[in-house]
Chains A and B, each alone.
Chain A
Amino acid sequence: MRRQAAQRLVAALFALLALLFGVLIVSAHAQAAAGADVSESVPNLLSLAGIARAWREFWAIVGPGGKLHPAYFLEHKGHLVIEAALIVVIVYLALQHSFKVHPRAEDPLTDKEIDQLCKEWTPEPLVPTLPESERIEPTVITGIDGPYVYVQGRKEKVLQMAASNYLGMAADKEAKDVSVAAVDKYGVGSCGPRGFYGTIDVHLELEEELAKFYGTEAAIIYSYDVATVASIIPAVTNRKDIIVCDEFCSYAVQAGYTVSRSRLRTFKHNDVADLERVIQELEAEEKAKRRPLCRKLIIVEGIYANYGDLAPLDRIALIKEKYKYRLMVDESHAFGVLGATGRGACEHFGLKPEQVDIIAASMSHAMGSVGGFCVGDRTIVDHQRLSGSGYCFSASLPPYLAVAGINMLRRLRAGTTPSSGGSSGQQQGDKAGSGGAGEVLPKLHSKIRAFRTDLMRGVPGLKLYGGGVLSPVLHLHVAKPVSEAADTAALRRVAELMLTSGCGGGVGGVLVGVPQYASIEHRRPPPSLEIFVTLGLGDKELGLAAGALRKAAKEVFKQ
């Protein structure tokens, strides 16, 4: 403020000086002009002639050529006065803006002030205190036996319905045997990223098998499921590009588009009309702003992990073709489950592999391994080998997990996946029926349908999301939601009761999960009870599970 006042003062002084200067010049000229007329007598202003003479004399001074005429004034340095006045005006106007706050750089804080500020600053604690209700200890598994697991603190085995081991490959004897052989040969870890001698022959073999399985040009594997989609998206789009994404997409997709910093639009869940509206808007905007052609991507999930329903891929594919967008499908839960040969939701909806540009999936569900993969044409796959951060900068998949993946693909093709069993005595690796995936998958499908139909007949206080869709992921929501916390607590209680109250037949209970969602999720799904239907569960097990669920739900929701 003081600075501002000083500026004002200086400006005022300037103006005063200029004025003084002008007055001095004018008066000097006036004196000079007056001095010439001193000898003559003063005209008599009372007579007419006197008036006329006075006028003439006056005009001689003021009129053209006269010493007080503006032209004379200008010719004899008078312009300086005007210029000075103009400068004063300019300076004044320039100073009018001085009320704006100046950036710090002009008025830097002193070291002392910075010290003081640093001292005053108190950070928030690194993490907020977690309410007691959110501190949940997960069930600890101590052993696995086909579709059953043993859990800590329980003697009887319980039904595992909290793991997406759809084809039973994770607990299968042959899968275990090949894994053990691979551990003997290769050790456990690969000790390096793919580029730096971390590529092991089995990685290449798995990629080949995957490409063959999908009938695409190439495939690429990642070492972790959440890193797969989250790496692919930033590899194929950046801030100039467009992503159109279903609003119910899971965290991996959200992480991917956040890192890519692309222009993001979401459309209403499974609403193809809304997708088209969003794309039309985008196209209009592109046209209006005359932007150059950019990469455009539609992202959907084959089976939505957090809801358990299917994306209408057939109709989405039409839109994609129409507007020339690339389509990326996260097939994590659909791979190895849907379609006649297990290629996932794309096959289920009759899409050819070349109609979908990027198919990504996790290997930790039906494949019974860990990691993720992406199949597509060579350009897209090769591009990821240089730009996929989760591929380039992370150690490659442990070789034995790749071997487990190869084993699963080969057996899925040959139809020798661990067949569904009865209640006990699982016929592990039943090689009798070698009719390809054509025999295994319909069995799984019929189980999914049967269980879903059973639950659709009604579970007290709960409702099944998605109804009878062919999806092995079942999300049961609270029929009359109260609040997120209350619903979650109720569902947890249901899960706990299912696990602890035995359901007869030597089965101690059913292990199901209540998914939790992180606070950083852009859109948290409603609380749900998540149940996975797997091939290993026989009719008896499914019946037991449904029974246990009804019993527990009835007790919790007291209908």
Chain B
Amino acid sequence: MEDFVQPPFLVIADTLFVLSCCMLFGRLRDFVCWLLNPFGQRKKGKEGYAHIRDPTEDFYLRRMYGRIVDCWNRPISSAPDAWFDVMDRKRIKEPSGQDVAEIVNTGTSTRCLNLASYNYLGFAASDPYCTPQVVDTIGQLGVSGCSPRVLGGTTVAHTELEDLVAQYLNVEAAITYGMGFATNSSTIPALVGKGCLILSDSLNHSSIVAGARQSGAKIKVFRHNDAKHLDALLRQSIADGQPRSHRPWKKVLVIVEGVYSMEGEACNLKDVVAVSKRHRAYIYLDEAHSIGALGGTGRGCCEHWGVDPRDIDIMMGTFTKSFGSCGGYIAGKKPVIDFLRRHSPAHLYACAMAPGCVKQVTAALQVVMGLDGTGRGAAKVQQLHDNANYTRARLLEMGLDALGSWDSPVMPIMTYSPAKMVALSRELLQRRMAMVIVGFPATPLLLTRSRICISAAHSREDLDWALEQLDELATLCNLRHGNTALKAHMEASLKDHIRRHFGEAAAAAATVAGLANGTFDPYSYRAGGGKKAVATVGGKGGKEVQEKDGRKHGHVASASGQQQQQQAAGSGPASPQAKRARKESSGNGSANGNGVAHVEPAAAAVSAPVVVAAANGVHHGGAITAEVEVQMSTGKAGSGKGGKAAAANGGHVRNGKASGVVANGNGFHRSSSPVANGRSDVKAYIRTEALVS
């Protein structure tokens, strides 16, 4: 993927110029400060103690991060649902060069569209099925177990969840932990140690790095998502044996993630599994962002690629994201899990996961699996995929460099220049949208980005409104890089994706533009499908909750209307009521009080049908209770915008370099051309440095 995201030359020049100015003047000012007051600096720290921050870090913090500190750590005061309350903050002191800018909360808050939280399946807010169970569990088992699992912290809730996770993932056994980070950082050292080799993807999460370091095993890093490089490294490493002693390795563990959180890219699992199996290396798959989000029934990366989960030796995942709770799990064969129960530090020493959190996961999993007796879970997964693919297609049509695989809920938008990133973040907040921005050192210096996390809780209106705002901002911040290489790659990967999930006929018709303006609907190609949709019976508490919610948080008409509509689509009682709810919402939409006209009746009609194909190709539980034909009204609202975006895109012709890359890479998947490889080498190198230093 990163082969396609090369910043244009001017952007590189601009970014480097700005950064070097910052550095130069920062240093100069520090020097002058020192001249004026040579002893001032020393007073800051205690005499005789080394400063807690090292000088480079300190400089970066004071002179750079200190200016833009308001873009992160923005507090919220409600559940991280589709819309949430972001607390208003005020700068009371400008960055002085010695300290970061000081910001205080003003005490008020603004309702913003949440494009930041990992609330993929929309379980973050209180849920009619989950929340009552959580409340009961807190009453029955207390707030916390106050004890590790092996002493007195194991409750019925824990054993129930572990069984359910194993059943959900279709593996023999599972073990749960109270924190996703600790799951990785304590399991890896329990499994591998001295004399073992860890092959880690260059973009793996910090928790994996921490675990790998703790283990004492030799760590080698392979190029991001490159099975060929993995193969080469594996062959060479096995042939060479351990460094210096040249004894054969005890075991080799290949660690990959299902969806990479900063790239939105799904792991190339099929090839990785094939390579690892061939060389008898063990596979550790971190599904933190992919569990619940990828695959037709939310079973993660394995389902997405059609890989047998029993081929994966260790399946790790978290409950923080899709299931709206906290903690993580390890699943796999029974002997492995039994071993971890005896030797995994987080199981032996850490406090057990809080019973309430455990129950939340159990309940959410039951919904996703359809065990709650409705098709709500399946609808959520499908809504998530629809939302994600629609948004990604629209972003690409706008000419933005939006990365990530199809179906993946994470989509970074490349801003390249840190200044633009900050401008975008502030401007977005002004327009009541919350989005995450990421820059150096979490990404390479020139690959700063802004990240959208899509949720099943978002309605099509939410997204349309957000995309409209983004469209304006793309012009304002000059973000349309018109990366034709990326576009071609995404077009090809869409075809591939549709081919795997919907068949050849759908693939032939699939285009990004069609997806963006609604003229292409993959579900219409499903065998026996037509436009069959399932509205589900069950969630009778749904309406109550949203009404209560609306009342409590003082939603303006537009927000609550939308929510209601989305709820109705996802979990509404039956079609007549659902339709009524929709009608209500579209009526309310135009009369919103917050000055944001983002719900138009026409647009509402587009999003209304949430399609759940009954013949999804994958097993639901026997939970579907009613099937209702829903009329699809397509392409009215979207097409105008699509045209506009295309026109805007046409204006920005990109320099010829990009198409050269396409030629190398065949416009599809990873390229093996030297140019591209050279580039990713640099990136891999940067990450490797981070890993070993």
A residues near B (Cβ < 8 Å) are 104, 109, 113-115, 117-118, 121-130, 134-136, 138-144, 149, 152, 160, 162-165, 169-172, 175-176, 179-180, 183-192, 194-201, 203-204, 223-227, 230, 234, 236, 238, 241, 250-252, 255, 258-259, 261, 293-296, 305, 324, 326, 362, 364-365, 368-370, 379-380, 382-383, 385-387, 389-390, 392-395, 397-398, 400-401, 404, 511, 513, 515-521, 530
Find out whether the CB atom of A163 lies under 8 angstroms from the CB atom of B151.
Answer: yes
Q: Can you list 16 residue pairs at the A/B interface with Cβ under 8 Å? A: A170-B142, A170-B144, A176-B142, A183-B131, A185-B552, A186-B79, A199-B73, A200-B75, A226-B350, A259-B213, A295-B50, A394-B180, A395-B318, A401-B354, A404-B143, A520-B193
Closest 6 CB pairs of A and B: A162-B152, A513-B151, A364-B351, A224-B179, A163-B147, A394-B181
Contact B356 A188 (CB under 8 A): yes
Q: Which residues of B contact A362 (CB under 8 A)?
A: 351
Residues of A within 8 A of B326 (CB): 188-190, 223, 395, 397-398
Please report the C-alpha to C-alpha distance between residue A152 and residue B235 in the assembled complex, in whole angstroms.
51
B63 to chain A, nearest CB (A): 14
* A200–B77 CB distance below 8 A: yes
B554 at interface by CB-CB < 8 Å: no
Would you give the shortest CB distance from B330 to chain A, in whole angstroms?
12
* Shortest beta-carbon distance from B473 to chain A in Å: 18
Q: A196 touching B116 by the CB < 8 A rule?
A: yes
**Residues B109-129 near A (CB distance < 8 A):** 114, 116-119, 123-127
Q: Is B645 part of the contact surface with A, judged by Cβ < 8 Å?
A: no
CB distance from A115 to the nearest CB of B (A): 8
Which of A198, A324, A383 sits near B49, CB closer than 8 Å?
A324
In the bound complex, what is the Cα–Cα distance between A192 and B146 (angstroms)? 24
Q: Name, among B65, B240, B320, B346, the residue most crowded by chain A CB atoms within 10 Å (CB to CB).
A: B320
Please determine whether B178 and A370 come into contact, CB atoms closer than 8 angstroms: yes
B147 — which chain A residues lie within 8 A by C-beta?
162-165, 513
CB pair B142–A370 under 8 Å, yes or no, is no
**Cross-chain contact A404 with B144 (CB below 8 angstroms):** yes
- Specify the chain A residue showing the minimal Cβ separation from B332: A126
* Segment 232-257 of B: residues with Cβ below 8 Å from A: 234-236, 238-240, 248-252
Are A176's CB and B139's CB within 8 A? yes
Measured CB to CB, the closest approach of chain A to B677, in angstroms, equals: 20
Other A-B contacts than A113-B239, A200-B75, 17 sampled, CB-CB below 8 A, are: A118-B279, A121-B238, A126-B191, A140-B154, A165-B147, A188-B134, A188-B326, A190-B320, A196-B117, A197-B116, A294-B50, A369-B144, A394-B180, A400-B138, A513-B152, A516-B150, A520-B190
* Complex alpha-carbon distance, A187 and B139, angstroms: 16
B17 in contact (CB, < 8 A): no
Question: Does B260 belong to the interface (CB within 8 Å)?
Answer: no
Chain B residues within 8 Å of A118, by CB: 234-235, 238-239, 279
Closest-CB distance, B667 to chain A (whole angstroms): 30
Rounded to whole angstroms, the CA-CA distance of A128 and B193 in the bound complex is 13
> A140 near B143 (CB under 8 angstroms)?
no
Q: How far is the CB of A429 from chain B (nearest CB, A)?
A: 14
Interface pair A225/B351, CB less than 8 Å apart: yes
Interface readout for B79-104 with A: 1 if CB under 8 Å, 0 if not?
11100101100000000000010000
The answer on a CB contact under 8 Å between B126 and A184 is: yes
A-B contact count (CB 8 A): 357
Q: Would A114 and B345 be within 8 Å (CB), given that A130-B338, A369-B144, A393-B181 are in contact? A: no
Q: Which residue of chain B has the shortest Cβ distance to A386 in the bound complex?
A: B61
**Given A134-B342, A197-B80, A226-B349, also A191-B321 (CB < 8 A):** yes
Bound-complex Cα distance A548 to B139 (A): 29
B325 at the interface (CB under 8 A from A): yes
Cα A225 to Cα B178 with chains together (Å): 9
Contacts of A126 in B (CB 8 A): 191, 251, 282, 313-314, 336
Question: Looking at the complex, which of B203-211, B303-311, B393-401, B505-513 is the stretch in contact with chain A?
Answer: B203-211
Contacts of A104 in B (CB 8 A): 240
Residues of A within 8 A of B280 (CB): 121-123
CB distance from B19 to the nearest CB of A (A): 19
Given contacts A121-B248, A130-B338, A395-B180, contact A201 B344 (CB under 8 A): no
**List of B residues within 8 angstroms of A520 by Cβ:** 189-190, 193, 343, 345
The reply to whether B124 and A226 form a contact with Cβ atoms under 8 Å apart is no
Q: How many residues of B contact A (CB 8 A)?
A: 125
A339: shortest Cβ distance to chain B, in Å? 20
Contact with A along B343-364 (1 / 0, CB 8 A): 1111011110110110010000
B597 sits at the interface (CB 8 A): no
The CA of A128 and the CA of B130, in the complex, are separated in Å by 39
Identify B146's interface contact among A163, A183, A223, A324, CB under 8 A: A163
Enumerate chain B residues within 8 angstroms of A138, measured Cβ to Cβ: 149-151, 153-154
What are the residues of chain A within 8 A of B282 when measuring CB–CB?
Answer: 123, 126
B75 & A255 in contact (Cβ 8 Å cutoff): no
CA distance A277 to B300 in the complex (A): 55
| B135 contacts A by Cβ under 8 Å | yes
B73–A259 contact, CB under 8 A? no
Q: Is B186 an interface residue (CB 8 A)?
A: yes
B interface with A by C-beta (< 8 Å): 45, 48-50, 52-54, 57, 61, 65, 72-81, 84, 86-87, 100, 105, 114, 116-119, 123-127, 130-131, 134-135, 138-156, 158-159, 178-182, 185-186, 189-191, 193, 205-207, 210, 213-214, 216, 234-236, 238-240, 248-252, 279-282, 313-314, 318-321, 323-326, 335-336, 338-340, 342-346, 348-351, 353-354, 356-357, 360, 434, 436, 552
A362 to B153, CA, bound (A): 15
Considering the chains assembled together, what is the distance between the CA atoms of A198 and B72 in angstroms? 10
Inter-chain CA distance A16–B16, complex, in Å, is 64
Residues in chain A near residue B130, CB distance under 8 A:
188
Assembled-state Cα–Cα distance A518/B340 (Å): 9
Bound form: Cα–Cα A252–B320 in Å: 22
Q: Which residues of B contact A515 (CB under 8 A)?
A: 148, 150-151, 348
Q: How far is the CA of A85 from the CA of B350 in the complex (A)?
A: 76
Q: Is the CB of B48 within 8 A of A324?
A: yes
Give complex CA distance A159, B280 in Å. Answer: 49
Q: How far is the CA of A117 from the CA of B237 in the complex (A)?
A: 10
Please give, as numbers and ranges, the residues of chain B lying within 8 Å of A226 by CB-CB distance.
Answer: 182, 186, 345-346, 349-350
B206/A393 in contact, CB under 8 A: yes
Residues of A within 8 A of B343 (CB): 518-520
A395 touching B143 by the CB < 8 A rule? no
Whether A185 lies near B144 (C-beta < 8 A) is no
A394: chain B residues within 8 A (beta carbon): 179-181, 207
Q: How far is the CA of A520 from the CA of B340 in the complex (A)?
A: 12
What is the CA–CA distance of A35 and B193 in the complex, to the nearest angstrom? Answer: 85
Point out the residues of chain A lying under 8 angstroms from B235, CB to CB. Answer: 114-115, 118
A450 and B251 alpha carbons, distance in the complex (Å): 52
Tell me whether A530 and B126 are in contact (CB under 8 A).
no
**Do B152 and A163 touch across chains, with their CB atoms under 8 A apart?**
yes
Q: Which residues of A contact B181 (CB under 8 A)?
A: 223-224, 227, 389-390, 393-394
Q: Which residues of A contact B84 (CB under 8 A)?
A: 197
Q: Once the chains bind, are B138 and A179 in contact (CB under 8 Å)?
A: yes
Residues of B within 8 A of A305 (CB): 349
The answer to whether A185 touches B239 (Cβ under 8 A) is no
Contact at B239–A223, with CB atoms within 8 Å? no
Q: How far is the CA of A458 from the CA of B296 in the complex (A)?
A: 63
- State whether A164 and B193 are in contact (beta carbons under 8 Å apart), knowing that A187-B81, A191-B320 are contacts in the complex: no
| Chain A: CB-nearest residue to B130 | A188
B345 touches A191 (CB 8 A): no
A124-B250, A191-B324, A386-B61 given; A185·B78 CB < 8 A? yes
A238 to B50, CA, bound (A): 13
Question: Given A138-B154, A191-B118, A398-B325: A518 and B190 within 8 A (CB)?
Answer: yes
Q: Give which listed residue, A223, A389, A395, contacts B210 with CB less than 8 A.
A: A389
Chain A residues contacting B342 (CB-CB under 8 Å) are 130, 134-136, 516
The residues of B that contact A129 with a CB separation of less than 8 Å are 335
A195 to chain B, nearest CB (A): 4
B339 to chain A, nearest CB (A): 4
Given contacts A163-B152, A185-B79, contact A180 B138 (CB under 8 A): yes
